[in-house]
Amino acid sequence: MLIGVINQKGGVGKSTTAAHLAYWLSHFHKQNTLVIDSDSQQSSSQWLQSMGMEFRVIDDPEELFETVTNFAEQYDSIVVDAPGVLGETTKSILLAVDLALIPAQAAQLDLASTEKIARLVHNVQKVRKGLPHAAIFINKAEKRSVLLREARVALSDIPGIKLLETTVYRRLVIADAPGQSATVFNMSSEAAQLAAEEYKQLFTEALNYGETQPE
């Protein structure tokens, strides 16, 4: 599957999610997986390289579109890590992928930026007859917070963008992973195992949604 991890907000967890997703696909599903890092400013290449993941850094929008579409047959999955701005690069990603996975942070949600990303997704879905599937999830959540409940309500009925049931909580072990040249999947602490379970649930849910027929 071709998957883009997008959100114009910085620091919501795009690169972290993309790296974990790619690792999960290649190690747990034995998929031949390519990661495209489209944000040469905030590159996660070093982390990906240290984990032996296959990756390319491409931030030119046209080249990005061509690479994803041309390599679609050669890989089982391609995961594109988007930059923290809405622009041509994100649009290229939306034009090329099957599934747009959108991490959102409850504390950072604001109506204007949610509307902006929804509009971009909708415009592409109009041209592509419902594609890409788009799924949003809450990342770096705080347990039992009012903000989390409010965010779930705010995101629950955006047309064309499904709010995933799975929430990924803020966990130190996730933030520590790049420094350990690892993902939570290959760290052995109990905290890492909890985080790994959360990611597995998230990715399973997102990919199942990505495989449904567009409405």
Ligand X SMILES: Nc1ncnc2c1ncn2[C@@H]1O[C@H](COP(=O)(O)OP(=O)(O)OP(=O)(O)O)[C@@H](O)[C@H]1O
User: Which CB, 14 or 20, lies closer to Mg ion?
Assistant: 14
Q: Please report whether residue 140 would count as binding ligand X according to CB under 6 A.
A: yes
The CA-based dihedral angle spanning residues 38, 41, 46, 52, taken in that order and rounded to the nearest 10 degrees:
0
- Using an 8 Å Cβ cutoff, are 64 and 36 in contact? yes
Residue with tokens 């955006």: 158
Which one, 90 or 125, has the nearer CB to Mg ion?
A: 90
Q: What DSSP character marks residue 30?
A: -
- Sequence-distant (≥ 6) Cβ neighbours of residue 115 within 8 angstroms: none
Q: Pick out residues in 96-135 that bind ligand X (CB under 6 A).
A: none
CB 14 to Mg ion: min, Å: 5
- How far apart are alpha carbons 64 and 26 in whole angstroms? 21
42 is a contact residue toward Mg ion (CB under 5 A): yes
Among 2, 4, 6, 15, binds ligand X (CB under 6 A): 15
Q: Does 167 bind Mg ion (CB under 5 A)?
A: no
Residue from 174, 192, 202, 207 that binds ligand X (CB under 6 A)? 174
Report if residue 170 touches ligand X, rule: CB under 6 A. yes
Q: Which does 11 bind (CB under 5 to 8 A by kind): Mg ion, ligand X, none?
A: ligand X
Please report whether residue 175 would count as binding ligand X according to CB under 6 A.
yes
- Cα 69–chain centre separation: 18
Q: CA-based diameter of the chain, in Å?
A: 46
Give the DSSP H or E segment for 90: helix 88-96
Task: By CB under 6 A, name the binding residues for ligand X.
Answer: 10-16, 39, 42, 84, 139-140, 168, 170-171, 174-175
